[in-house]
Amino acid sequence: MPELPEVETVRRGLEPFIVGRKIREIDVVHKGGNRSSTYAPYSAIKGAKVLNVKRRGKFLWFELNRDFALMAHLGMSGQLLIQDKQSQYEKHLRVRIDCGDRRKEIRFVDQRTFGWISIDKLVLEGQELIPQSFTRIAPDLFDDKFNREAVISQIGKKNSAIKRVLLDQGVVSGVGNIYADEALWHAKIHPERLAKKLSEQEISSLLDATKFVMEKALKAGGTSFDDLYINVNGESGYFDVELEAYGQENEPCSRCGREIARIAFANRSSHFCPQCQSKSPLKKAGKKKVRKKSQP
């Protein structure tokens, strides 16, 4: 599934093409490209000017000069491509967006049909109008609204495996299986350790590692597997060559040489180093609790 770096790469590709243009038409080639709960029919968007392309976590928001938003979610395999209008339709084409360009259009292609494009209602968040879809997810690590101290406190209260918490889009958005494994490897934290058992320093280090990994992935254009994720020009990201844990089962850990292990985790897999990411880390010297002697 495309995660924050992949979605942000797509956003950056779409921005110079679509901002400032007016949407002439949205053509739903296949009903799988539309969300059933869309706020208004696509016809309502005809003539709307695109003011900006924004993102929160894995969601894209086309800001319009209207009292509603155009939203997109790539799902498991969605692709937003800038294609020649005369080029052959892709096998899994779902939606076409005509922005008034003579030669080019935006196409939403989705093999597994979990992604969607829809019109969304705008609601207030503080003093700002945002798409209603955004209210269900937390700000991501690159968002100005991200409250680091509050998130550290929230994570520290969770009685759940830290990887499950890291994947919770209501805690911090944009993180999926790939970057969760990578961040936990960099922070030397076992994916099954309980979040409430982590120190504030460990949680802080994990957030730093998550942002670090995603920044590196952004520079590489994201991570591509089997061409399910490509950018707007049809190019694959190449961060997969830098992965330390995800998909590296039986490969030596670049830090200690121990083989990377894989375990089943919430209907998916987790990859980690059994040595660097111990499930029961040794307490640091000088930090052990001293048991008080009982009074006679």
Indicate the annotated binding residues for DNA: 92, 112, 158
Active site residues: 2-3, 58, 268
Query: Encoding tokens for residue 158?
Result: 């969770």
Residue 291: phi and psi, rounded to 5, are: -75, 130
Residue with tokens 């409250």: 147
Quickly tell me which residue has 């640091």 as its tokens. Answer: 284
Residue 222 C-beta-side C-alpha neighbours within 13 Å: 29
Instruction: Measure Cα distances from 95 to 33, 80, 239 in Å.
Output: 6, 9, 28
Annotated binding site: 92, 112, 158
3-state secondary structure (DSSP) of residue 48: coil
Contact by Cβ (8 Å): 245, 27: no
| Burial (Cβ within 10 Å: 0-12, 13-18, ≥19) of residue 152 | middle
Contact of 112 with 31, CB cutoff 8 Å:
no
Residue 6 and residue 238 in contact, taking contact as beta carbons nearer than 8 Å: no
Half-sphere exposure of 75 (CA within 13 A, CB side): 20
Coil, strand or helix: which one is 94? strand
